[in-house]
Amino acid sequence: MSTAPKAIAGARERYEPVIGLEVHAQLKTASKIFCCCSTRFGAPPNTQVCPVCLGLPGVLPVLNERAVRDAVMVGLAVGSKIALRSVFARKNYFYPDLPKGYQISQYDRPLCEGGSIDIRSGEGWKRIGLVRIHLEEDAGKSLHPEGRAGIHTTRVDLNRAGVPLIEIVSEPDIRSGEEATDYMARLRQILVYLDVCDGNMEEGSLRCDANVSVRPKGSTSFGTKTEIKNLNSFRFVDRAIAYEIERQIGLIESGGRVVQETLLWNSEQGVAESMRSKEEAHDYRYFPEPDLLPLDLDPAWIESVRASLPELPHALRERLVREHGIPEYDAEVLIETRSLASYYEDVAARSGQPKLASNWIMTEVNAIRNRDGLSIERFPIQADRLGALVGMIGAGSISGKIGKQVFEHMLTDPAAPDEIVKRHGLLPIDDEASLLELADEIVAANPGPAAEFRAGKEKTFGFFVGQAMKRSGGRAHPEKLQAALRAALAKQA
Amino acid sequence: MRIDAGTVRKIAALARLRVAPEDEERYVRELQEILTYVEQLQALDVEGIEPTSTVVAGEPVPLRPDEEISSDVRDEALAAAPDREEDYFRVPRVV
């Protein structure tokens, strides 16, 4: 399959895509879910293994309490019902990176059920329901080295085998690749706020499989779905889903039928390829894990976890709008991370200019951060210094234009902004004598426009303001300069 | 449930077991006997009864603090494997 059948023009509007996501998130525990091996990413192959995660006979899994706590935190954060009893189950299949021949997961009695995540959809908000969140162990990693003549082998690294995962299964409430991407981004943000997952998609800490089907608009039954695996970036989530929607509509419109199958997203070619595996007819023969007792939770303990939840993104966004009076759009940008939001709050408090502080962070600060790939923690201007600068601009002691020059200096100069203003001769010109002198000079140098102005062409005034500002290097006090210019133009009349 | 040769072959494939064709009939008979015996349980009314996933229910599941302890068994594990390549386990190509 190299190209997708193109959907017949106009057909797109007659169909409604139905999408559900299964997201696997790696928990940030120090040790694996059922043994004491390290979970560190990038260690030399097979150095973080032991008899338990190697699947040797005679060993028993012992559940990591932090993994349980992390999973419960996520469930509480998204409004799931936490099961007072959940049961681990064996999911049986053979693959070289699964040493035991089964994965310990949860099946009919997951840890969390229900809940929801609110996403952006068009101009408004939309609630995406959750089916469940359960705990399970990760498999190892299979590597398939290419281009070695005559060698047809797969290499297996079991460092990742047994790393704790939560699987978060959404209801089929998503309707486009964009909605799916926003859902992923918001889920990731919640996990990172909770500090239970690092959210690093490149390293596989967050992985996504998408179930996609289409149906005629207005229909309430579901079309045949396909499952796309291996969506390890936000861009791939969007592109793969958009691709699959097009493919399915094209197929139906040209008289074909969608076949239920598992597809693998090939990011290099931008196509979803059929896995065509005999493993497709999955029959996992789940049964309760005899080596682990049911997980019983004490309601009081669950409440203590609830009490320990940090402020979550939606609550923080609403609080920024309420307490600082900034637009929702600003708040949305500022809650990117908890540290960016607290940076903002410090700048707003120090400057006493909540909206100006937000503008400066969204434009100047974020431009530099994006250019240099910096987290706010590593941004060279600390909140108190930016707050002082924004305060000076807000109080009118320097213009925004001069402020930008000061800002540039501050990126490499640790001095306070008022010190930088003095040192670089950026002090505003606001004494009347100097401004009058400047105004006289500009008016004298431009007799033509001056005559036009006097003949009643008010628009010409802007030209003088521009010239004078340019001459002063942007330092002239705007209102006082205007007064001086009017005086100069009147004087020579 | 009826067991036939197809069921035996499917279960054998899922379990990665090689079953000789001449043995199929015997497995059909034996599996059928086992299932028929277990199926007697279906006669019981279990409405409202909590499923038993373990016979020691009621005991709290032992939990382990999240502490990392290195086992340092790589070389031993690789030496015990059927095949290795550098520090990886080596298996027949799977894709």
Say if the Cβ atoms of B66 and A285 lie within 8 Å.
Answer: no
- Residue for token pair 């007072």: A84
Tell me: do A143 and A221 sit in the same domain.
yes
Mean pLDDT for A208-216 is 96
Amino acid (1-letter code) at residue B22: E
Q: What is the number of structural domains in chain A?
A: 3
What is the token pair recorded at B39? Answer: 């199926």
Chain B nearest-CA distance from A282, in A, is 9
Tell me: do A354 and A483 sit in the same domain.
no
Inform me whether the pLDDT recorded for A3 exceeds 50: no
Q: Smallest Cα–Cα separation from A132: which of A111, A163, A118, A117?
A: A111
Tell me: do A67 and A98 sit in the same domain.
yes
Highest mean pLDDT among A6-20, A419-433, A463-477, B27-41: B27-41
Chain B nearest-CA distance from A284, in A, is 9
pLDDT tens sequence across A384-417: 999 999 999 999 888 888 899 999 999 999 999 9
Inform me whether the pLDDT recorded for A100 exceeds 90: yes
Say if the Cβ atoms of A87 and B93 lie within 8 Å.
Answer: no
Please check whether residue A157 touches B, CB under 8 A: yes
Residue A5, domain member (yes or no)? no
Mean pLDDT for B84-88 is 94
Residue A35, domain member (yes or no)? yes
Task: Among A29, A37, A40, A46, pick the best mutation site for testing chain B contact (most B Cβ within 10 A).
Answer: A46
Say if the Cβ atoms of A63 and B90 lie within 8 Å.
Answer: no
Write out the residues of chain B at the interface with chain A, using a CB-CB cutoff of 8 A: 10, 14, 16, 53-54, 56-57, 59-74, 77-78, 83, 85-95
Contacts of B48 (CB under 8 A, 6+ apart): none
For domain B1-45, the CATH class is: mainly alpha
List chain B residues with CB under 8 Å of A36.
Answer: 64, 67-69, 71
Inform me whether the pLDDT recorded for A115 exceeds 90: yes
Say if the Cβ atoms of A46 and B74 lie within 8 Å.
Answer: yes
pLDDT tens sequence across A319-352: 999 999 999 999 999 999 999 999 999 999 999 9
- The pLDDT, as a whole number, for residue A393 is 93
- Centre a 10 Å sphere on the Cβ of residue A229 and count the other Cβ atoms it contains: 17
Please check whether residue A94 touches B, CB under 8 A: yes
Inform me whether the pLDDT recorded for B58 exceeds 80: no
Residue A313, domain member (yes or no)? no
Mean pLDDT for A79-88 is 96
Mean pLDDT for A225-230 is 91
Rounded CA-CA distance A30/A51 in Å is 18
Q: Per residue, what are the HEC states of chain A?
A: CCCCCCCCCCHHHHEEEEEEEEEEEECCCCECCCCCCECCCCCCCCCCCCCCCCCCCCCCCCEEHHHHHHHHHHHHHCCCEECCEECEEEEECCCCCCCCCEEEEECCCCCEECCEEEEEECCEEEEEEEEEEEEEECCCEEECCCCCCCCCEEEEECCCCCCEEEEEEECCCECCHHHHHHHHHHHHHHHHHCCCCCCCCCCCCEEEEEEEEEEECCCCCCCCCEEEEEECCHHHHHHHHHHHHHHHHHHHHCCCCCCCCEEEEECCCCEEEECCCHHHCCCCCCEECCCCCCEECCHHHHHHHHHCCCCCHHHHHHHHHHHHCCCHHHHHHHCCCHHHHHHHHHHHHHHCCHHHHHHHHHHHHHHHHHHHCCCHHHCCCCHHHHHHHHHHHHCCCCCHHHHHHHHHHHCCCCCCHHHHHHHCCCCCECCHHHHHHHHHHHHHHCHHHHHHHHCCCCCHHHHHHHHHHHHCCCCECHHHHHHHHHHHHHHCC
pLDDT tens sequence across A130-165: 999 999 999 999 988 775 556 678 999 999 999 999
Tell me: do A454 and A415 sit in the same domain.
no
Chain A nearest-CA distance from B23, in A, is 23
Residue A21, domain member (yes or no)? yes
| B9 membership: H or E segment, kind and range | helix B5-14
pLDDT tens sequence across A256-270: 999 998 898 988 888
Mean pLDDT of chain A: 92
- The pLDDT, as a whole number, for residue A278 is 45
Can you give the residue range of the structural domain that contains A212? 11-301
- B51 burial class (0-12, 13-18, 19+ CB within 10 angstroms)? exposed
Say if the Cβ atoms of A152 and B59 lie within 8 Å.
Answer: no
pLDDT tens sequence across A275-292: 765 444 568 999 999 999
Largest separation between any pair of C-alpha atoms in chain A: 104
Task: Among A28, A35, A54, pick the best mutation site for testing chain B contact (most B Cβ within 10 A).
Answer: A54
Chain A nearest-CA distance from B82, in A, is 12
Chain A nearest-CA distance from B25, in A, is 23
Residue A448, domain member (yes or no)? yes
- pTM exceeds 0.80, yes or no: yes
Mean pLDDT of chain B: 91
List chain A residues with CB under 8 Å of B64.
Answer: 31, 36, 62-65
Among chain B residues, the shortest Cα distance to A292 is held by B61
Tell me: do A327 and A375 sit in the same domain.
yes
Least confident of A54-58, A131-135, A451-455: A451-455
Q: Smallest Cα–Cα separation from A465: which of A446, A493, A451, A448?
A: A446
Say if the Cβ atoms of B14 and A283 lie within 8 Å.
Answer: yes
Residue A3, domain member (yes or no)? no
Residues 270-309 of A with CB under 8 A from B: 283, 285, 288, 290, 292-296
Tell me: do A37 and A117 sit in the same domain.
yes
Nearest CB to B77: which of A46, A285, A288? A46
- The pLDDT, as a whole number, for residue A221 is 93
Nearest CB to B64: which of A65, A158, A295? A65
Inform me whether the pLDDT recorded for A206 exceeds 80: yes
Tell me: do A381 and A262 sit in the same domain.
no
Say if the Cβ atoms of A46 and B88 lie within 8 Å.
Answer: yes
Tell me: do A394 and A479 sit in the same domain.
no
Confidence of residue A1 (pLDDT cuts 50, 70, 90): very low
Rounded CA-CA distance B51/A52 in Å is 28
Tell me: do A42 and A188 sit in the same domain.
yes
Query: DSSP letters of B43-57?
Result: GS--TTPPP-S-TTB
Tell me: do A233 and A263 sit in the same domain.
yes
Residue A315, domain member (yes or no)? no
Tell me: do A139 and A276 sit in the same domain.
yes
Inform me whether the pLDDT recorded for A439 exceeds 60: yes
Nearest CB to B64: which of A44, A64, A94? A64
Tell me: do A289 and A437 sit in the same domain.
no
Nearest CB to B87: which of A44, A67, A109? A44
Residue A310, domain member (yes or no)? no
Rounded CA-CA distance A277/A459 in Å is 74
Say if the Cβ atoms of B64 and A63 lie within 8 Å.
Answer: yes
Share of chain A above pLDDT 70, in %: 95
Residue A361 · residue A344 · CB < 8 Å: yes
Rounded CA-CA distance A228/A491 in Å is 77
List chain B residues with CB under 8 Å of A37.
Answer: 68-71
Say if the Cβ atoms of B95 and A285 lie within 8 Å.
Answer: no
Q: Smallest Cα–Cα separation from A16: which of A248, A277, A201, A335?
A: A248
List chain A residues with CB under 8 Å of B55.
Answer: none
- The pLDDT, as a whole number, for residue B54 is 78
Least confident of A2-16, A278-292, A385-399, B40-54: A2-16
The residue out of A388, A423, A458 marking a domain boundary is: A423
